[in-house]
Structures are given as C-alpha cells and as structure tokens.
Amino acid sequence: MTPQHIELVKSTVPVLRENGVALTQYFYNRMLTNNPDLKNIFNMDHQSSGRQPRALAAAVLAYAENIENPSVLAKAVEHIATKHVSLDIQADQYSIVGENLLHSISEVLNVPFESDLIAAWKEAYLQLADILINAEKAKYDGLATQNGGWAGWRTFEISAIEETAEGKKFTLKPQDGNTIPASEPKYYISVKVQVPNHDIQQPQQFTFAEAQQGNDYQIVVKPEQQKTEFSVANILLDHYNVGDTVQVTAPLIG
Ligand code: HEM
C-alpha cells in the first residue's frame, strides 16, 4: 500500500465506526441476499442478535487503524483464523466478503465505488485477507496431517444421548469408522445440523468439558435460553436421535 492509500483508509475509520450498525447491516443484508448459500455457514442466531456482524466489521476497522503495524493484531488474527477453520471457511470466499464490504463502505461513506478511497480500502482488505488465508492454510494442513485428523467437515453418527446434570451428553462417532485425533478440555469442534422446515444447515461450536481419548467425541448440549428456530443446541435436543448424523470439524483451540 502507498502512504496515500494508508492515509485515506485511516482517515475514514472514525466515520465508519460511528456508522458501524449501518455498515454491518448493509453488508450482511447485501452479502446474504446475493449469496444465500452463505446462510449455511453464518449462524443465523448470531446474525439476528447482531453479534457476529459487529465482530467482522470491527475487526476490519481495527486492522485498518493498525495498518502500518499489523503485528499488533497477531492475537486477533490467530483467534479469527481458528474460528474460520472450525467453520471450514475457504480462501475463495474472501472475495465475496471483500466485494460486499467494499460496496458497503462506499454506501456508508457516500463515495463512488470507482474512487481512490475504495481502491485504498480494497488494498487494505486484500492485505488482511491474505494474512488470514495464510494462517488458515497452515491450520488446515496441520489438522489434515495429525493422526486420525481431517480438514473440513466429516460425517459423525450420534451413538448415544445421556441425561446429565449439566445437559444432554451426545456421543459422536465418525461414520467412516476410522480413528480420530485425541483432544483436551477447552478444545472445540463445530457441529452442523439440518434446520427443520428450512432448506439450510447451521453450525455451532461446542467445547469439550473433558479429555477425549477414544473413538468418539462427547459434547454436553444445554438448551439455549432464547429459543429460535436456528439454535443448534435446541435443534439437537429437540430433533436429533441416536443413529442420526451431523457434520463435524476437527478439534481446535484458540
Ligand atoms: C478479512 C476478512 C474477515 C475478517 C476480518 C473476519 C473476521 C471475523 C471475526 C472477528 C469473527 C468473530 C470471531 C468470534 O466469533 O470470536 C468472524 C467469524 C466468522 N467469520 Fe469471518 N472474517 C473475515 C472473512 C470471512 C469470510 C471470507 C468468511 C466466509 C464467507 C467468514 C465467515 C465467518 C463466519 C461464518 C464466522 C462465525 C460467525 C458466526 O458466529 O456465525 N469470514 N470473522
């Protein structure tokens, strides 16, 4: 990026931040309308609460503020990359997010899409996307090469459901019958379910309470207070039985 690009980007961060809600709402509406497939990976509960939309745009703005010194954001990059890998986010999806984000910035700042300012934001976005894509690639490679490991989604069968004091304990066995990596408390997996009466799937992360050392994983599923039709925990509790299958990503921490 040229010094002029950097100045342009940094000078617009405050006004974008002030209009954070408009920016993120416009961005998500635009992106999910044009790319309805993404409804299968973005948690629709988080969308309606506004939690995730704010997180993504806030991360881009924080990055732009520290654009001359991206190492400040190393911890955030590690956290975001881990979450993305747990959701099987792919490099080619960055151009979809980028295009929609740039259009949203142009809209909120009321500047033409074909302008120096948006060109500068494009450079900034590409720089951040590149950092995340590389961090994610290293993680996918690491997951795929560990003993019993895999990258992306793998089909697991629910082999038992037991009542416990904390909630229902689901035991998940890989459908292919092959080995799976051992894991530790605080590691999490994403579990993806089919949403009843909707043609979409929804993922959610579940953190292990105990070490996992066998041929299956055990997660405790607690009912969510706010019952919406997209709540993965409630869908598992109300609609899934022993013998049903779900999609699972490999354990990660971060
Ligand atoms: C430079 C680009 C991006 C940035 C800065 C970014 C940032 C973030 C942040 C901060 C979070 C929240 C992490 C947390 O839960 O603590 C997040 C989650 C997420 N990101 Fe990204 N992201 C980017 C690109 C993408 C792309 C390309 C996709 C795929 C289309 C994507 C999909 C998701 C999903 C599905 C979640 C979880 C959201 C949920 O809770 O439903 N992100 N991202």
What are the pLDDT tens digits along the chain (254 aa)?
899 999 999 999 999 888 887 888 889 899 999 999 999 998 777 655 555 656 787 888 888 888 888 788 888 899 999 999 999 999 999 999 999 999 999 998 999 999 999 999 999 999 999 999 999 999 999 999 999 999 999 999 999 999 999 999 999 999 999 999 999 999 999 999 999 999 999 999 999 999 999 999 999 999 988 778 899 999 999 999 999 999 999 999 98
Between the alpha carbon of residue 184 and those of residues 187, 211, 244, 247, the distances in Å are 6, 4, 25, 20
Q: Is 94 assigned a catalytic role? A: yes
Name the catalytic one among 94, 140, 187, 188: 94
- Whole-angstrom distance, CA of residue 247 vs CA of residue 81: 20
What is the distance between the alpha carbons of residues 90 and 154, in angstroms, rounded to a whole number?
Answer: 16
- Ligand 1: centre distance to CA 169 (Å): 28
Q: What's the confidence (pLDDT) of residue 71?
A: 80
pLDDT for position 51 = 59
Please give the distance, rounded to the nearest whole angstrom, from the Cα atom of residue 213 to the centre of ligand 1: 30
How far, in Å, CA of 85 to CA of 212, rounded? 20
Q: Does domain 3-145 have CATH number 1.10.490.10?
A: yes
Residue 13 near residue 65, CB atoms below 8 Å: yes
Q: Which residue has the tokens 């969510």?
A: 224
Fold for 154-248, please state it: Elongation Factor Tu (Ef-tu); domain 3 (2.40.30)
Distance between Cα 145 and ligand 1 center (Å): 25
Going by alpha carbons, the residue nearest to atom 17 of ligand 1 is 56
The reply to whether domains 3-145 and 154-248 share a CATH topology is no
Nearest CA to 64 out of 21, 104, 10 is that of 10
Domain ranges of the chain: 3-145, 154-248
Mutate to test the pocket of ligand 1, among 24, 30, 83 (most ligand atoms within 8 A of CB): 83
Q: Is 140 a catalytic residue?
A: no
Q: Which of 136, 140, 187, 217 is catalytic?
A: 136
Token couple for 166: 């904390």
pLDDT value of position 200? 94
